[in-house]
Chains A and B, each alone.
Chain A
Amino acid sequence: MTVRVQEAPFDPAVELDGFAAGRTDTGAQVTFTGLVRGDGGLHHMEIEHYPGMTEKAIAAIEADAVRRWDLTASLVIHRYGRLAPGERIMMVATAAPHRKAAFEAAEFLMDYLKSRAPFWKREASETGAAWVAAKDEDEAALDRW
């Protein structure tokens, strides 16, 4: 289980190189990478977070995933600060003996990171900046777990 909250960019290829290394009981790895989408004239995004709580909240979500699925490894990286369209915001990786657990655990991690990890996005365009409002569908997505 690894959690990293950082301002700096990351390279998924480098992260995956050592992921679940040395485990011969892993048959499946799933990765998800989230990027800044340049909708509606977005110039850049600012991500604020709650240092201290962020790491704890993500670790608790990851621990929950490990309890629910038979994971051999998991990784969450989430950035904060100023990000331009096309930049990577975050990634999730899961490893399990079989693919169903790896896919489901990755979706679970994503759903919970959306609305239970203390990050707040602010979008800036040429005309101004606004905080991104939480979506009802993101809250509803937790119900299936």
Chain B
Amino acid sequence: MIDVLYFAWVRERIGLPKERVKTGAATVSGLVDELRAREARYEAAFADTSALRVALDQELADFDAPLEGVREVAFFPPMTGG
């Protein structure tokens, strides 16, 4: 089980900020495929992953990064700080 977090419009489209997910995916992309297959709201959020960023255990990562040993995955749009 891993914690999956959503921020900004990703959170709004999916309709929740955080959930526990049971996954057999080896990589972030594999997890995205599993989530997209769930429901239309996930499909809407993950339709274009080039518009998304991912962090693994609070460090920015790539979509092909492995999930082994990861406890927290976060999906969000490009950041707009400053």
Contact = CB atoms under 8 A, between A and B. Distances in A.
Interface of A: 34, 48, 50, 52-53, 56-57, 78, 89-90, 110, 113-122, 131-134, 138-139
B81 A131 contact: no
Interface of B: 5, 7-9, 55, 58-60, 74, 76-82
A53 B77 contact: no
B6 to A, nearest CB: 10
A142 B41 CA distance: 34
Contacts of B55: 50, 53, 118
7 contacts: A50-B76, A115-B80, A117-B81, A118-B81, A131-B8, A133-B77, A133-B78
A14 to B, nearest CB: 22
B58 A110 contact: no
A113 B5 CA distance: 21
A52 B58 contact: yes
Nearest to A117: B81
A39 to B, nearest CB: 15
B8 A115 contact: no
A138 to B, nearest CB: 8
Closest 8 CB pairs of A and B: A134-B78, A119-B81, A53-B58, A120-B8, A114-B82, A117-B81, A113-B82, A132-B80
Nearest to B12: A131
Contacts of B79: 114-120, 134
Given A118-B79, A119-B81, 16 more contacts: A48-B8, A50-B7, A50-B76, A53-B55, A53-B58, A53-B59, A90-B82, A113-B82, A117-B79, A117-B81, A117-B82, A118-B55, A120-B8, A120-B79, A133-B77, A133-B80
Contacts of A52: 58
Contact of A53 (B74, B78, B80, B82): B74
